[in-house]
């Protein structure tokens, strides 16, 4: 059974409730320029109510076992969010897979926080949830994410043409996956 709070060397990974919407809003506002490049974001919709709704929705999806998102809070700055790692589209039965997503605050990039948070989350999904396969997509020019995925034994399996529209342009993505070798 997954817990709502875990601890790594430098951070806490927590499922947040709607009471922490201000910190989530601040996280997105502080990183808007870099997040817009790799995910479909509508900054016009950013409001306290919007992020309360997002956190409520995530709780509903967690209860249905369709999504899990951990927000990373650095031990050195417990009132701040430094990143998030999520596992969505969780499929059971014959599939036993999900899709990985993650993002790191611009002030915490290049310091190993993404590796620490994503590797912990991936191991959790493999060992606790017993998923067989974790998938991820990444922009071909996102070298830091490509290095991270490959360091964590994700293998490039394909090229997805015009996968997502970002800032009005359809963007290609690489498709990666990691197989849980201990689950075979």
Residue 127 near residue 163 (C-beta atoms within 8 A) = no
Question: Residue 69: in which H helix or E strand, if any?
Answer: strand 67-74
Q: How many angstroms separate the Cα of 152 from the Cα of each of 39, 40, 56, 157, 158?
A: 22, 25, 31, 15, 17
**C-alpha count within 13 angstroms, C-beta hemisphere, residue 84:** 19
**C-alpha count within 13 angstroms, C-beta hemisphere, residue 130:** 6
Nearest by Cα to 113 from 76, 143, 62:
76
Q: Roughly how many angstroms between the first and final C-alpha of the chain, as a whole number?
A: 21
The larger pLDDT score, comparing residue 59 to residue 85, is at 85
Q: Is the pLDDT of residue 19 over 80?
A: yes
CATH of domain 5-131: 3.40.630.30
Residue 184: pLDDT band (50, 70, 90) is low
Domain ranges of the chain: 5-131
Q: Is the pLDDT of residue 183 over 70?
A: no
pLDDT tens for residues 123-141? Answer: 999 999 999 999 999 999 9
Predicted confidence at residue 181, as pLDDT, reads 87
| 105 phi and psi angles, rounded to 5 deg | -55, 140
Q: Which residue has the tokens 């995925």?
A: 149
Residue 89: pLDDT band (50, 70, 90) is very high
């Amino acid at each position: 059974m997954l817990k709502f709070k875990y601890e790594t060397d430098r951070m806490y990974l927590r499922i947040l409730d709607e009471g922490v919407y201000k910190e989530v809003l601040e996280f997105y506002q502080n990183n808007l320029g870099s997040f817009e490049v790799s995910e479909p974001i509508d900054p016009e919709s950013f409001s306290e109510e919007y992020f309360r709704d997002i956190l409520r929705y995530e709780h509903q999806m967690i209860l249905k076992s369709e999504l899990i998102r951990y927000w990373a809070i650095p031990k050195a700055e417990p009132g701040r969010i430094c990143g998030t790692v999520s596992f969505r589209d969780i499929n059971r039965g014959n599939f036993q897979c999900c899709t990985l997503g993650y993002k790191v605050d611009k002030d915490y990039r290049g310091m190993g926080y993404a590796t620490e948070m994503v590797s912990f989350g991936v191991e959790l999904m493999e060992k606790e949830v017993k998923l067989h396969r974790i998938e991820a997509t990444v922009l071909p020019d996102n070298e830091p994410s490509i290095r991270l995925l490959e360091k964590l034994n994700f293998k490039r399996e394909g090229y997805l043409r015009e996968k997502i529209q970002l800032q009005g342009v359809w963007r290609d993505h690489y498709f990666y996956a990691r197989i849980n070798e201990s689950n075979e």
